[in-house]
Structure 1
Amino acid sequence: MSDIEIGRLGYLGLLLTALVLWMFVQHRGRLVQKLQQLAAWGLIFLAVIAAIGLWDDIRHTVAPQQSVFADQGRIELPRAPDGHYYMTLLINGTPVNFVVDTGATGMVLTRQDAERVGITPDDLAFHASARTANGAVETAPVRLDRVALGAIEDRNLPAFVNGGEMDNSLLGMSYLQRFDRLEISGGKMVLERR
């Protein structure tokens, strides 16, 4: 647990103690009833703490993630609540989350994702440009040594690093066309490669 999380728990504990003391001072005559209510609130408090601690596990159950069927060369991506499809690729061994964008030509990394996979954006020449919905942005061409999706692996792939602000890296057609089949049906994007 980090210092911030310990501080938050300490604050919540202090707040809970203050509420309990206030309750006893206000209702001294009905002690048994108040102890029952205190126990109920204590259980609610513990349930909330447990839900926060287990949120990552709960989130993966409630919001399914991509499924890779390596033996079939098949990937299934569920549509996210925002209507987009997201794919996680291992680039040089580092997981990078992409928004799948069939309207984009290339694979475009944010500056932050580029740094995470071992590319230093400050050393790049941002001399290329791309047209986006938000206007033209400067980009720098790069080569990705290794891009893996389960057992499917590609080497020396061309990509770009975005010189501007971008929320997510984009996975465009230069990568998607490596698959033999791309289908969107029933809230899923299915990609197959033989």
Structure 2
Amino acid sequence: MSRSELPTTLKLMTVWLLIGLALFLVFKAWEREREASRFQLAGQTVVLTRAPDGHFHWPGRVGGVEVDFLVDTGATTTALPQALAERAGLKPLGTVRTQTAGGAAEGFAARADVALEGGVRAERLPVAVLPNLHAPLLGMDVLGRLHFSQKPGELRIEPNE
């Protein structure tokens, strides 16, 4: 390779890297906007739009750690992945065995302060912490305190009066 070819090659590589970076940033901004549009607050009503994975997600916090809860009306208890529970500083209170959609699971019981976008809070909520759980599940122990209705692709949640 001659000396005159090197600057041209570097220029082309730089242009392609900048184009790739720009496309990446545009995709990330689009992805962030899509995520934000799945949660809306209309007065006291929380409106969740079905995500591409077919589920409803409700953003919140567990002990100060941001989470994206999967709304699970089939779950009796709110369940957290063990890695999340550790980041949130939850302490084991005892062993728990539970039946999940994937079969029997064993983990530990803990108490967590849960705060959901829209002002829904549950202090010292008993939760199941499961080592192989992939996403935090918001169960009927929280959802049962609320009034919710579903339309195609939309879940509306309001405080119980």
User: Normalising by the residue count of structure 2, what TM-score does the alignment of the two structures yield?
Assistant: 0.79
1:73 aligns with 2:44: yes
Deviates more, 1:100-109 or 1:72-81: 72-81
Q: Percent identity of the aligned residues?
A: 29
Distance 1:68 1:93, change over 3 A: farther
SS at match of 2:90: coil
Q: Following TM superposition, by how much is the alpha carbon of 1:138 offset from its aligned partner in structure 2, in angstroms? A: 1.2
Distance 1:176 1:19, change over 3 A: farther
1:178 aligns with 2:145: yes
The structure 1 residue matched to 2:9, chosen from 2, 11, 20, is: 20
Whole-angstrom CA distance in 2 between matches of 1:125 and 1:82: 33
The structure 2 residue matched to 1:103, chosen from 74, 92, 97, is: 74
Partner amino acid, structure 2, of 1:178: R
Distance 1:19 1:113, change over 3 A: farther
Q: Aligned residue pairs: how many?
A: 154
Q: Which runs of 4+ in 1 moved over 4 A?
A: 41-45
- Give the 5 Å matches for 1:41-60: 45-60=17-32
**Structure 1 alignment gaps of length 5 or more:** 1-16, 22-34
Distance 1:178 1:188, change over 3 A: same
Q: Following TM superposition, by how much is the alpha carbon of 1:102 offset from its aligned partner in structure 2, in angstroms? A: 0.9
Q: Deviations over 1:111-141 (max 9, x none)?
A: 0110121115xx5532x21112222111322
Q: Following TM superposition, by how much is the alpha carbon of 1:145 offset from its aligned partner in structure 2, in angstroms? A: 3.3
Q: Following TM superposition, by how much is the alpha carbon of 1:146 offset from its aligned partner in structure 2, in angstroms? A: 4.7
1:192 aligns with 2:158: yes
Distance 1:141 1:62, change over 3 A: closer
The residue aligned with 1:169 is 136
Deviates more, 1:137-146 or 1:166-175: 137-146
CA RMSD, Structure 1 to Structure 2 (Å): 2.7
SS at match of 1:112: helix
Q: Following TM superposition, by how much is the alpha carbon of 1:19 offset from its aligned partner in structure 2, in angstroms? A: 8.7
Q: Following TM superposition, by how much is the alpha carbon of 1:85 offset from its aligned partner in structure 2, in angstroms? A: 1.1
Partner amino acid, structure 2, of 1:102: T
